[in-house]
A = this chain, B = another copy of it.
Amino acid sequence: MKITAVDFFYLAMPEIRDIGDGSQDALLVRVATEDGLEGWGECEAAPLVSIAAWCCPMSHSACKPVSHSVLGWTIDTPDDIRRLTHEVRRQSFDLLQADHTLSGVDMALWDLLGKHRGEPTWRLLGWEKAYAKQAYASQLFGDTPALTFALAQQVRAEGFTAAKFGWGPFGQDLSADEAHVRAAREGLGDDVRLLVDAGTIWGEDVELAAARLPVLHECNVLWLEEPFVSGALHAYAELGRRMKPPLRTAAGEGSHEPHMARNLIDFGRVGYIQIDAGRIGGLTSAQEIARYAAAKNVTYVNHTFTTPLALSASLQPFAGLKDHALCEYPTQSSALAQTLTTGGPKPTKNGEIRLSDQPGLGVTINLETVRAYVVDTEIRVKGQALYKTPRI
């Protein structure tokens, strides 16, 4: 099957607020073959920039637009998709944003090949079974400890057995942080797992992070996520050495190619490696890390804060890893994200998520939602339209 068309749809809420909610916009990718088959994927964040990386003019031999490699490529087997990843990275080597653009394209190709074969994507990826994952409710801290407490109680009432709080006010003031973590633990009760996300607030300052270890230990927190920026491998390793079990570091969402994630495992000594399939290069690159993590006794977890399409995609790469049993489930997503699909993974009453047996990613795009939120976009160079929002 030759890839004959790739269309990008930039979707956004009417108003984008200055908050941590990553589901306020989305870049959908639709891939079509000469046989009329379609697959859908999604790139994480900054839709306009990833569109530009698709359609920009060539700068030189190692800085070509992603479209150069993708259009006309033939996809008949999983290895054809894997070879395309290699080709994009070779041809678009100096184009930084290319990894994010590739992510959505790769996702769409795995969806397409699954639909073509009548198989769920996780099976095409080589997994025999899709194990149930324990969904953790992923949300921002409340503005006050009292609000954090209320959010925690609500999560518990909804049946989640794990919850993560992050960003918002966290990381600026030690005693406020302690109050938030204790409020979260109190609201969840002792039997719900608690995870904390610092959103890289401490840069690479080990002592600032270490000051929070007592309250994290006291409240039986499972992981401290992104105390530092992704590249601060020394800081990750040092903080990890000071943690007492079960507390471990978690990081990796910023990885835009597999080596960055491997280096966090090998040199940063993280306990959990969190991969955003919409950034690292799609399912191909994400699964490379899932297998690597498993071999190194590091737990793989998806990073997802956007739509059910991205969620389904992000679960495929580690579906068959029984012992990697946690998964991120965004609980505060926008109307756009909530109405974009029918189907898509949902937690059961006891907080479990299992991927379906439906072909591809098992998600149907609601075209009405696409039409309602699509952002009219045009890029012109030398009088020629390199990109124009496609009709839907």
Residues of chain A touching chain B, judged by Cβ–Cβ distance below 8 Å, are 10, 12, 16-22, 24-25, 44-49, 51-53, 55-63, 89, 93-97, 99-100, 199-200, 204, 229-234, 254, 256-260, 262-263, 266-267, 279, 375-383, 386
Contact = CB atoms under 8 A, between A and B. Distances in A.
Contacts of A262: 231
Nearest to A10: B381
B62 A199 contact: yes
Contacts of A380: 376-380
Contacts of A22: 59-60, 63, 94
Contacts of A382: 375-377
Nearest to A305: B60
A46 B62 contact: no
A49 B97 contact: yes
Given A267-B267, A377-B379, 8 more contacts: A21-B60, A48-B386, A49-B56, A231-B260, A263-B267, A376-B381, A377-B381, A378-B380
27 contacts: A16-B59, A16-B60, A18-B58, A20-B60, A21-B60, A22-B60, A22-B94, A25-B57, A45-B63, A45-B94, A45-B95, A46-B56, A46-B94, A46-B96, A48-B52, A48-B381, A49-B49, A49-B52, A49-B56, A52-B52, A93-B200, A96-B256, A96-B279, A229-B257, A263-B267, A375-B382, A377-B382
A153 to B, nearest CB: 26
A378 B20 CA distance: 30
A96 B94 contact: no
Contact of A25 (B44, B59, B231, B379): B59
Given A22-B94, A63-B46, A57 B263 contact: no
A44 B96 CA distance: 10
- A20, A22, A97, A100: residue with the most chain B Cβ atoms closer than 10 Å: A97
A204 B266 CA distance: 15
A123 to B, nearest CB: 28
A16 B57 contact: yes
B49 A233 contact: no
A12 B260 contact: no
A96 B52 CA distance: 13
A15 to B, nearest CB: 10
- A20, A25, A379: residue with the most chain B Cβ atoms closer than 10 Å: A379
B24 A59 contact: yes
A49 B57 CA distance: 10
B231 A16 contact: no
- A49, A56, A89, A232: residue with the most chain B Cβ atoms closer than 10 Å: A49
A378 B55 CA distance: 13
A230 B93 CA distance: 11
B381 A60 contact: no
Nearest to A378: B380
A168 to B, nearest CB: 10
